[in-house]
Homo-oligomer: A and B are copies of this chain.
Amino acid sequence: MTPYCSICWDINKVKLLDQRKLPREEIYLEITDYHEVIEAIRTLAIRGAPAIGVAAAMGAALGALGLKTEDPQEFAGRFDHICREIAAARPTAVNLFWALDRVQGLVQAHAGEPVGLLKERLVAEAQAMLKEDETINRKMAQAGQAVIREGMRVITHCNTGALATGAYGTALGVLRAAWEAGKRFSVWVDETRPLLQGARLTTWELGKIGIPYTLIPDGAAAALMAKGLVDLAIVGADRIAANGDTANKIGTYGVAVMAHYHGIPFYVAAPLSTFDFSIPDGSHIPVEERSGAEITHLWGQPVAPAGAQALNLAFDVTPSDLIAGIITEGGVARPPYASSLKALRKG
């Protein structure tokens, strides 16, 4: 169906589409060393919270395969160390920690089993998580596609398609399901500075599905809203607190404020693995600060004067009072989120 995949397991290798090169080149990296998975996550060869979760599990499986011991206890200790290394790749998307908790839990649940069997379990688990992610995305998309109506002009920020997930997509998955259900609409794509995931990736994915889109600079969204050309905003998430506060790509909060000012509903689409019920609100979400060079340089060439100081916060936090609904595989949560998210978690 989708003629590309962000990540897959191929015998004893991880294959992943190098998203730094898109849309100009479609190059798959073939990785056998988990350090290279960490590097791929860090440098955004693979990005998007759900995809990072799958990559972490596959990286952990690769790391496990490389452990030269037959002692289950030593294996478990060294595997934990690998997971801690992978966990340090990026701080904000909680799916990374969720995935590592899950594979570490698997090893704990089968403590003492022969190392060969544990390795097989980890490889199978990582593959299962990829498959599950697609299933979850499709459920989420079905749960959410009712919010997209015929003729709408939808705005989205960053990339939330099959590239950002195991397959299908979160916010873009909702749009895809609506499109596949026969609804016709168009999308304003925020280019999403500094790394242009909107310009490079979302356009590429919408083009493959066939959904009409128009690319805009992030700063143009407000003007389009003022002109009455935007009916709905939908984005993904990197971490959602227990009260619904949502961390997502820098610029998302601005879209939410502008949507609020113009009376436009603002939706978030994310799997339950993106929720962090251990934190009460968004103030507890660690926001990654990346190199200023991502702002001061383009294609490796400087756009700002030498030595220009730049602040590169990778994410911002949108308070839940600006969010009309949070679309998950368990249904669409509505305000008040403290109770609706609790119900989703249990259900």
Contact = CB atoms under 8 A, between A and B. Distances in A.
Interface of A: 23-24, 157, 190-194, 196, 199-200, 203-204, 207, 212-223, 226, 250-254, 257-258, 260-261, 292, 295-296, 298-299, 301-305, 308-313, 316-317
Given A216-B310, A217-B250, A220-B311, 18 more contacts: A157-B219, A190-B219, A191-B193, A191-B295, A194-B217, A200-B304, A207-B308, A215-B292, A219-B219, A220-B251, A222-B254, A223-B250, A223-B253, A223-B313, A226-B316, A226-B317, A260-B261, A299-B299
B303 A199 contact: yes
B199 A296 contact: yes
Given A24-B302, A193-B191, A308-B207, A295 B199 contact: yes
B298 A299 contact: yes
Contact of A311 (B203, B214, B254): B214
A226 B253 contact: yes
Contacts of A310: 214-216
Contacts of A220: 250-251, 311, 313, 316
B217 A304 contact: no
A218 B196 contact: no
Contacts of A226: 253, 316-317
A200 B73 CA distance: 57
A250 B217 CA distance: 9
Contacts of A251: 217-220, 222
A66 B234 CA distance: 57
Contact of A308 (B215, B258, B311): B215
A43 to B, nearest CB: 17
A253 B216 CA distance: 15
A305 B257 contact: no
A217 B295 contact: yes
Would you list the 5 A-B pairs with minimal beta carbon distance, nearest first? A219-B251, A222-B254, A223-B316, A193-B217, A215-B310
Contacts of A203: 304-305, 308
B295 A216 contact: yes
Contacts of A254: 219, 221-223, 254, 258
Given A219-B218, A220-B250, A258-B258, A305 B192 contact: no
A36 B223 CA distance: 32
A221 to B, nearest CB: 7
A209 B296 CA distance: 20
